[in-house]
Structure 1
Amino acid sequence: MGHQTYRVEGMTCASCVRRVEKALASVPGVAEVQVNLATEEARVLAEGVPSELLEKAVADRGYRLVNPSLEVADVSAELRLGLLRVVAAWVLTLPLMLPMLGVGFQVPGLLQAILSGVVVFGPGGVFFANALKQLRHRETTMDTLVALGAGVSWFYGFAELVRDAPHPPFETAAALVAFLLVGKHLEARARHRATDALETLLALAPPVAVKLDAKGQESLVLTGMLQPGDRVKVTPGSAIPVDGTVVGGQAEVAEALLTGEPMPAPKAPGAPVLAGAVVHGGALVVEVAGVGQATWLAKLAAQVAEAQGSRARIQDLADRVSAVFVPAILGLAAVTLAFWWIHAGSFAQAWRPAVTVLVIACPCALGLATPVAVAAALGTAARQGLLVRQASALERLAAVTDVVLDKTGTLTEGRPEVIDILTLETGLSSEVLRLAAALERDSEHPIARGILGAAKSLELPRVDGFRAHPGGGVEGVIQGRRLRLGHPGWLGFAAAAAPEGATVVGLADDRALQGMLVLADRVRPESARVLEVFRRRGITLHLLSGDRPEAAERVGRALGITEVRGGCGPAEKRARIQELQAEGRVVAFVGDGVNDAPALAQADAGIALPGLAATQVAAPLNLLREGLEPLLGAHRLALRTRRVVVQNLAWAFGYNLVLVPLAAFNMLDRFGGPMLAGAAMGLSSLTVVLNALRLRRA
């Protein structure tokens, strides 16, 4: 048996996922099916099943199955079409809403019918198409509610226009479609971002490489053309294009974004290296072991895709209710029509309460309850330093019971900083720092950047005869005096014991050790306060780090975190989150490295710190500002958003529960019947929108 991945077109909600899975699972020979709404893909495990059979099974349910190797989707074209629908709908709807905006002008009735009709059956035609498609299979979705409400509202408005009524409710139908098209477009953009995450992960490895032939001649080739056993040269400051083994040269390789280790690791012949890691201090010759899909990065991307597909999705409440709500309203309208026709003996009197039931039960407020609140929350989140890439993650953030944090770059600054200077011969710490920074002035090494950062206010002297010694240090002549900077062992001097988790760099001349600089990955100043606020909110904290266990324990003790695990790779981090979720916990994960991507995707609410694009697109929640302070505002906003959504849904359902029975018993006809229904529907929508706008206040 083998897995085959297909693209599925036409899915709009979580109920569509279940229908496609059932359709594929019903094909003989299919052993397993997994449908991912985020990536719009179906992964099928089958033996000897022709693609045509799978395509037919899905087509019979109203969807389209496409082999991506034969037909490439134009995602950007789909999004542009969705945006065009939104713009067209609002351009035509706004003139109908002028009286509601306080403008003393009303569009003539016939023009209202034309403008509203174009919106409802033009840009809004997608709702009607989906509703009819599901109707053929005797099923209903949220699209059924929208099509029913917009269609009946427009046709009722047209009937009122023919009857020469003063205020046919055409703006109701148009506004309903316009608002919901906005939500549909935002949802489509969020779904397609999952693919961007995987592509960005793979882009960390450079697309071209410097290949060496048997004579050592260099040539520039596409990375994908390399084969295991080929040799490539990687210069200082460049990313390694493949997984492989060092066969020549010495250098230090920064793998912090891959493994979580903040300090660069020395690499010599025989050492393994990963695609995407950056070389510092020297050139390396690497023998290729894995290219493309065989690299560690590609396997990491596959883990992200698997985590996204396995995540339990919270189905929208409105979609769940619509399965019984729409048939119930249709049945109630039919019963109302029959009852009043028999009771009054006239269809002319019977149709009004029946239409009132349909119009007043329109799902306008129901459909707007969540997307309008989320839209208001998104703008506030951005102002507070949080980019929400997936609205459902903001909803899940409000329910978190556990927050799991990475160490390097999350709780700590993520870069070596000078924390102490030990002076020996010179007597002045500033002189040791000044001379060391001068030697590191042109280096791209992370330790060099830490030293230069501490010396940014000092005037640096000129350095002559500069030489770099990969894996050891640097040397140069300053004012006629030869100085060396590097590991004390390379300098040939005994070093003082370094603090736990710190690195010591020595400065020496030809006769003695002049001083030592102690560098460490410093804990962020706000980390302790942020974590204490989370504790007061009843949230359990965990620390999972790819760094050494002793370094992770040191940070955990300093911040009062009880569960601390060091040496965790991407799979271990994701597995621990799965364990917590199996215990019924709702988990948020906060990280910043590529090794955090599977955990960010697995968590109920993945939160990425600023810096690496691949990590940010893999996470549904991105912090836009440095530091952990935006985390507190994000959690507080998530709680407020959940409260407003619950209020909106309670209003929408309560409105229907109260007014639908009144309409069925014809108790609203004396107040205008369908006319009142249209006004009430507009009022219910306005109430939902105004309540949601409270979220704009930071």
Structure 2
Amino acid sequence: MSTTETATQHVDLAISGMTCASCSARIERKLGRLEGVEASVNLATEKASVSFPSALSVADIVATVEKTGYGATPLTEKTTGRGRDGGPAMTHDVVDQDSLRRRTVVASALALLVAVLHMVPPVREALGAAGHWLQLLLTLPVYLWAAWPFHRAAAINARHGASTMDTLVSVGTTAAMGWSVVALLTGFTHDLYFEVVAVVTAFLLIGRTIEAHAKAQGRSALTTLMELGAKDVAVLRQDAGRGGAMATTEHRVPVEELVVGDRFVVRPGEKVATDGVILSGRSTIDASMVTGESMPVEVGPEDQVTGATVNGHGRLIVRASRVGAETTLARITELVEQAQTGKAPVQRLADRISAVFVPAVLVIAGLTLVLWLVTGNPFTEGLAAAVAVLIIACPCALGLATPTALLTGTGRGAQLGILIKGPQILESTRAVDTVVLDKTGTLTTGHPVLTDVVTAGSLPADAALKAAASVEVGSEHPVARAVVAGARERGVRLADTQDFVTLPGEGARAAVNGMVVTVGRPSLFDVVPEVLHEALARAEGTIVLVGWEGTARAAITVADTPRETSAAAVERLRGLGLTPYLLTGDNARTAAAVAQQVGIDPTHVTADVLPQHKFDHVRALQEQGRVVAMVGDGVNDAAALAQADLGMAMGSGTDVAAESADIVLMRADVETVADAIGLSRRTLQVIKQNLVWAFGYNTLAIPLAALGLLTPVIAGGAMALSSVLVVLNSLRLRGYGRA
């Protein structure tokens, strides 16, 4: 059976022992040689995302990685809704962080002493030959213990016929150490390089320590997401009381034990344990940690709440609707992890180069030594130049350029309520020049209110409103909710209904007291009286008709005001080089009024658009040569989102896993559209800055080292600094969007 006919499985692995870009590239190549296997290995997150056919097992994948010389541990899916098991803490090295810190401290102290003994003339002259032996004694612990991670990794790779950055460091320091020991024992020369071994090792360990700390900061957003969820919950259970009567009691249980349908209590100040629907109680919910929305939201019975949000002042009883891996928080965490594990297209060149980089450097170092010797230079000078080449040519900066920026950018996006589904999306945002916006809930508040009821004939306004609200109570559309809320505010009692039917994009229908009542667009009615035509013509809000037996009996108007931030957000979109378009199902008069208030060109407004026709409008813009970003709700606009060059799903997070969208915005606010595109472009810009630095650094530094213009000590410091600079540049993304 061919691989295309077999079922595809997926596993995420924690990879240990990687030290540079050539490590991740080698693992990818080894896995890629297995039939039907696709792998993406990320150096910064130390994870591999692997898809493989059913003919293979996870054990086969792990064994292949281990045969390559690295450790692999499958990451299993947790059911707590707090993300994936991150496995043991690793440090982009073959030792843990505590050991790395100890080695760094010891190596730095000893290296300082060796440097003083070698480089300070009064000290050197006072000690004489004894100073050389003291340098050896101080350098041996640095070479044998502090630099052990480099030597061990180099040996492991050598056994597998490979070379990495550790090979360069180990060979370079070993050459300097070996030459110095021989020279000291034989008295052949006084040109010793103990300070090179000690100082270079200290520099590299300091760089690794700073890099590990900086990367941990970049991962902090994802770590915070994983830890957001509540740890336990007060569940309401029916227990037998005195006399056998059933009584409702609270039981404090771990959140993992929650099942769909459980009722639980959320007290003031507590986190909501999981996604659910409020059964009783009123309060405010702070959802800033999930959606990025800073203002608390008023909630009451029948409102939905999201796990990990914080309850305000009221006591709520909630029925669980999603638990474990199905919750909004779990899906958010999974999306962020997927984006951070993947690779942006711009990284492909770096991967191809890193695959051959280390062997090429070994050859260049050997040629450097030979050329220095054949041109009549002393062996010690040729050795110093060759060691400098080996040490300065580390490809770490190249391997960290993309993943660290992606790690930080996607983490910052999660904090802002912006979920970028994959690194390839970054490239798409650069080319987009047109953004298509919906009106309700995006440009406007999404909370329309009832403003007017116009009836035909002698029908009382309250009777028309009662009929409409009784039907609309079964709908979740914002206009329907406004009609129902308006009726209740006027004291209108709703009637029972049967056979409720939603008419997507047009309205709804149900039987009220035996009469089939229709609420929605004029196209749903055979007869629309003149008085209602006039109401339609002059309305500056959203207007729906209500009627029965094919005749419209009344027109109900609701108004939805633009958000305070919409005008500024539209201006920001223009500042990003985007042309905003407005597509809405509302009438032309309402659409034009909203467009004028937020600053959208009237010629870029299309009204009375059914959801299924938005696809055609997006395609028409593309046929005009435009690169289109479509902003929709991720459900009704699925076709348009899929057709667009960049699909952006707006919403509260209940549709966070919409396959049709490239970016999911947890807040239904056009301001997040500008934030998402701006952050994506900034992340791509930082990736390119990192790559330019990494390429430029190696391109310039290797020839300088080969020509003897850089000493091994300077080379070690520069190499360590290059990786740190790349990581620190990426960390600037943590401040995106902050005042």
TM-score range, shorter chain: 0.5 to 0.7
Q: What's the C-alpha RMSD, in Å, of the aligned pairs? A: 7.0
Q: Paired residue for 2:70?
A: 63
In 1, the alpha carbon distance for the partners of 2:712 and 2:60 equals: 47
Query: SS in structure 2 opposite 1:65?
Result: strand
For residues 327-406 of structure 1, what are the structure 2 equivalents within 5 Å? 327-331=359-363, 334=366, 351-352=379-380, 355-364=383-392, 400=430
Amino acid in the other structure paired with 2:70? Y
Query: What count of residue pairs does the alignment treat as equivalent?
Result: 572
Query: CA offset at residue 320 of structure 1?
Result: 5.3
Question: Structure 1 stretch 56-65 or stretch 140-149: which is displaced more?
Answer: 140-149
In 2, the alpha carbon distance for the partners of 1:39 and 1:368 equals: 14
Amino acid in the other structure paired with 2:19? T
Is the 2:41–2:48 contact (alpha carbons within 8 Å) kept by the matching residues of 1?
yes
Q: Paired residue for 2:468?
A: none
Query: CA offset at residue 657 of structure 1?
Result: 3.3
Amino acid in the other structure paired with 1:558? V
For residues 6-405 of structure 1, what are the structure 2 equivalents within 5 Å? 6-24=13-31, 35=41, 37=43, 38=45, 40-43=47-50, 45=52, 47=54, 52-67=59-74, 73-75=87-89, 78-96=96-114, 108-158=131-181, 163-165=189-191, 169-170=195-196, 173-182=200-209, 184-186=211-213, 189=216, 193=220, 196=223, 198-200=225-227, 203=229, 207-213=232-238, 215-222=246-253, 223-234=255-266, 239-245=271-277, 248-249=279-280, 251=282, 254=285, 264=297, 268=301, 274-276=306-308, 285-312=317-344, 315=347, 321=353, 323-331=355-363, 334=366, 351-352=379-380, 355-364=383-392, 400=430
In 2, the alpha carbon distance for the partners of 1:318 and 1:91 equals: 36
Change in 2 beyond 3 A, CA 1:292/1:677: closer
In 1, the alpha carbon distance for the partners of 2:651 and 2:183 equals: 59
Query: CA offset at residue 62 of structure 1?
Result: 0.5
Is the 1:373–1:693 contact (alpha carbons within 8 Å) kept by the matching residues of 2?
yes
In 1, the alpha carbon distance for the partners of 2:150 and 2:645 equals: 40
> Can you give the 5+ residue segments of structure 2 that lack an aligned partner in the other structure?
1-6, 78-84, 240-245, 417-421, 448-480, 493-537, 543-559, 585-589, 605-627
Q: Paired residue for 2:702?
A: 656
What does the per-residue CA deviation read over 1:43-88, in whole Å, with 9 as the maximum and x for residues that have no partner?
4545475655444322211012334569994317933333334333
| Residue from 565, 573, 598 that aligns with 1:523 | 565
Is the 1:79–1:189 contact (alpha carbons within 8 Å) kept by the matching residues of 2?
no
Change in 2 beyond 3 A, CA 1:411/1:189: farther
In 2, the alpha carbon distance for the partners of 1:101 and 1:572 equals: 70
Change in 2 beyond 3 A, CA 1:288/1:651: closer
Q: Paired residue for 1:452?
A: none
Query: SS in structure 2 opposite 1:122?
Result: helix
Question: Structure 1 stretch 295-304 or stretch 91-100: which is displaced more?
Answer: 91-100
In 2, the alpha carbon distance for the partners of 1:328 and 1:156 equals: 23
Q: Percent identity?
A: 21
| Residue from 633, 641, 649 that aligns with 1:568 | 633
Query: CA offset at residue 33 of structure 1?
Result: 5.0
Query: SS in structure 1 opposite 2:390?
Result: coil
Is the 1:93–1:116 contact (alpha carbons within 8 Å) kept by the matching residues of 2?
yes
Query: CA offset at residue 358 of structure 1?
Result: 1.8
What does the per-residue CA deviation read over 1:179-212, in whole Å, with 9 as the maximum and x for residues that have no partner?
54245524653686576255135x1x56313323
In 1, the alpha carbon distance for the partners of 2:727 and 2:273 equals: 49
In 2, the alpha carbon distance for the partners of 1:10 and 1:276 equals: 35
Is the 2:203–2:717 contact (alpha carbons within 8 Å) kept by the matching residues of 1?
no
Q: Paired residue for 1:457?
A: none
In 2, the alpha carbon distance for the partners of 1:608 and 1:526 equals: 19
Query: SS in structure 2 opposite 1:12?
Result: coil
Amino acid in the other structure paired with 2:162? E
Is the 2:438–2:631 contact (alpha carbons within 8 Å) kept by the matching residues of 1?
no
Q: Paired residue for 1:443?
A: none
TM-score (norm 2): 0.55
Is the 1:24–1:57 contact (alpha carbons within 8 Å) kept by the matching residues of 2?
yes
For residues 458-607 of structure 1, what are the structure 2 equivalents within 5 Å? 492=490, 521-523=563-565, 533-535=575-577, 554=594, 558=598, 567-569=632-634, 580=645
What does the per-residue CA deviation read over 1:414-458, in whole Å, with 9 as the maximum and x for residues that have no partner?
999xxxxxxxxxxxxxxxxxxxxxxxxxxxxxxxxxxxxxxxxxx
Change in 2 beyond 3 A, CA 1:231/1:360: closer
Change in 2 beyond 3 A, CA 1:633/1:166: same
Change in 2 beyond 3 A, CA 1:639/1:288: closer
Amino acid in the other structure paired with 1:362? L
Query: CA offset at residue 129 of structure 1?
Result: 1.8
Is the 1:252–1:281 contact (alpha carbons within 8 Å) kept by the matching residues of 2?
yes
Is the 1:251–1:267 contact (alpha carbons within 8 Å) kept by the matching residues of 2?
yes
Query: SS in structure 2 opposite 1:227?
Result: coil
Query: CA offset at residue 357 of structure 1?
Result: 4.9
Query: SS in structure 1 opposite 2:69?
Result: coil
Amino acid in the other structure paired with 1:358? A
What does the per-residue CA deviation read over 1:119-175, in whole Å, with 9 as the maximum and x for residues that have no partner?
344333222222222222222222222333333344445456552238865265335
What does the per-residue CA deviation read over 1:517-565, in whole Å, with 9 as the maximum and x for residues that have no partner?
x998532897577656544xxx7889999xxxx9999599726598785
